[in-house]
Structures are given as C-alpha cells and as structure tokens.
Amino acid sequence: MITTRALTKRFGHVEAVCSVGLEVREGDRYGLLGPNGSGKTTLVRMLLGLVYATSGEITVLGQRIPRHAGRALPDIGALIEEPAAYPHLSGRANLRLLDAAGPGGSRRTRRARIEEALERVGLAGIDRRPVKAYSLGMRQRLGLAAALVRRPRLLVLDEPGNGLDPRGIKDIRDLLIELNSAGVTVFLSSHLLGEVSALCTRVGVLDHGRLVLQESLAELQKPTGRVLVETQDAERALALLDGHVERRDGPHLVVRDPDPAGLNARLVGEGVRVASIAQQRRTLEEVVLEVTGAGSDQFGGGGGTSPPSPPRSPSPSTPSPSPRGTGHEVPGA
C-alpha cells in the first residue's frame, strides 16, 4: 500500500527525513511513532504529494508519488495536522464542498456518504452551527469524517487523537479497527505510545528523521522467556527454584522459565502459595525508549503504558527485567 525507498527531505541544511524505507502492507494498522519534531508530519505530507522529497522514491497504492498522485488520491482518505475548513460554514456544508471539489466523488451518493461519515465519527446530530463555533475535538472528528466521505481503501492520519478526550480517543480507535476489519488499511502518525499499542498491528519508530525500527507489534512484545511470580512464600520459592530466580523484590520474583503454567503447577505442587503468575512481555514504551534513547517525557502516554519500573541491578550480558513488567495472567493461578 505504501512503500518508500531512501526517502529524504532537507530544508536548507536541516535534514528532516533521512533515507526512510517505509513498508505499509495491505490490511495493516500501522503506527508511525516518534517524539514531536522527529519528522513524522513531513514524512506523511510527502506520502500525499503535499511536500516534494529531496531524494528517494514513494509508491502509494501502486502509483508513484508525486508524479501519479492524481491516480491514487481518490482512494485515500487523509487528515493532516489540524483539519482544514471554511470557518463560517457548517460541517455538512464543508463536507459537501470538499466532496464536490475532489476527483471521483459521485454527486448522486454525496448526501448519503456525508451522513454516513458524520454518523461514524459521532457527529450525526450536528446542527447548522459554523465550524468556528466547534470545539477542537469536534473539528478533529469533522476532519476524520472528511477523510471517510469517499469510502477510501487507505486512511492516512496525522495525530488523529489531537484534541479528543479519552472517550473520544476510544471511539476513534474502535472506528479505525472496524474500518480495518472491513478492508481499509490504516496508516497513522502519533506520539501517544498507549494509543498505538492499543490500536496498531505494525509499528515504525522515527527518531531525528531516521526510521530506527519497523516491526509487527506482536514480534516486539513477544515473551521474554521469563515469568513474573507473586508469592507470600518467596523464600520457599527461591529455594525450590535455585538458579532460576533472576531477581527478587519482596514477594515479587522474576523467574527464568518459558512455561508459566508448568512453573505454576510445580510451585503449587510444592505447597507454595502463588498470588499471581504471568508471562513477561516488554511494553511498547520500553522498546521505543530503548531504540530512540529519548526520555519518557518526549512521548505521551495516552493510556496503556506501564508504570515506571523499580530500580534494577545492571548485568554484563542481559539486563534484569522488572518484576512489574507487562504480563498475561495464567488461568487458574
């Protein structure tokens, strides 16, 4: 759906995007993460032909951009930065003008498509107030409605959660998952780790204009081979699991073992009281901060991120994981 090769953009002596090789596959929910100023918006604008690349190649929906952008754009819905609108007109009037001005929009189905788009973003009951009277959240929803009017095959969204409250963010997330299930590929940029973690199936990380990571979320969060155990009988568990406990923090143990269910059965069978047991997985926050070296204050949480890990001792080979890392509970523990 989207492919770039050695994509680079310079503004004078500033290299905003540097040799990016992006790959967004059909059916993806792809999240491009990066702190503010990392080049995300510049990259998104190049994908749509709004900014010309200094060098490199862009292909979207099989068409070279910007040379053949006109062939791809009718099948793309986009929301870039703040939604554009005529402030003195109503939301519906803005959508009618937008649809009439773009290529490929059918006048016969325009009214129905506009009503469908407004309903999907939660603006079905919108009145005739001018857009200048809308809240930021309403403007963002209207911008998303504009992206949906043409019933696109590909959605390209730049920070779609801007201005939305937590309920609004969840509504948009649910809508994007629904659209993706119906065959729409979703590509969005964001600095909200929690939102990307909750929504996306693949992740790219941009840092100072460079794509430093591109992988499926499942692969990034695969099990670490360690199990997090909480028990009132920590001393007994330590003795029983001699050599396999990598760390203890009060009743919390980090155990080197690939089989949580088997470990749970062994502990319970020896009379150890297990309060909880979970397979350890890395959080997206841990992965992103590791590859960017950024401070956590450069990324918004947006929900879904883990609390700070307690201090841990360094290791010359493998860092000791936190006993409070992300895990999946084992049924019956």
Residue with tokens 């029983």: 240
What is the spatial distance between Cα 287 and Cα 51, in angstroms, rounded to a whole number? Answer: 30
SS3 103: coil
Q: What is the pLDDT of residue 279?
A: 92
Q: What is the pLDDT of residue 50?
A: 94
Task: Considering the chain, tell me which residue range(s) the CATH 3.40.50.300 domain(s) occupy.
Answer: 2-219
Q: What is the mean pLDDT of residues 40-64?
A: 96
pLDDT tens by residue, 178-207: 999 999 999 999 988 888 999 999 999 999
Share of the chain above pLDDT 70, in %: 87
Of 18-27, 56-65, 165-174, 305-314, the least confident: 305-314
Higher pLDDT, 263 or 302: 263
Q: What is the pLDDT of residue 161?
A: 84
Structural contact between residues 223 and 280, judged by C-beta atoms closer than 8 angstroms: yes
Predicted TM-score (pTM) of the model is 0.78
Q: Of 110, 109, 108, 106, which is closest to residue 94 (Cα–Cα)? A: 110
Q: What is the pLDDT of residue 297?
A: 59
Structural contact between residues 149 and 121, judged by C-beta atoms closer than 8 angstroms: no
Q: What is the pLDDT of residue 104?
A: 63
Task: Considering the chain, tell me which residue range(s) the CATH 3.30.70 domain(s) occupy.
Answer: 223-329
Amino acid identity, position 187:
F
What is the spatial distance between Cα 276 and Cα 230, in angstroms, rounded to a whole number? Answer: 5
Q: What is the pLDDT of residue 326?
A: 45
Position 250 confidence tier, pLDDT thresholds 50, 70, 90: very high
Which of the listed CATH numbers 1.20.120, 3.30.1330, 1.10.3470, 3.30.70 matches domain 223-329?
3.30.70
SS3 236: helix
The torsion angles phi and psi of 194, rounded to 5 degrees, stand at -65, -40
What is the spatial distance between Cα 115 and Cα 186, in angstroms, rounded to a whole number? Answer: 22
pLDDT tens by residue, 132-178: 999 888 888 999 999 999 899 999 999 888 878 888 889 889 999 99
Position 226 confidence tier, pLDDT thresholds 50, 70, 90: very high
Q: What is the pLDDT of residue 320?
A: 37
Beta bridge partners of 186: 29, 155
Class of domain 2-219: alpha beta
pLDDT at 37 over 60: yes
125-129, 171-175, 328-332: which has the highest mean pLDDT? 171-175
Position 5 confidence tier, pLDDT thresholds 50, 70, 90: very high
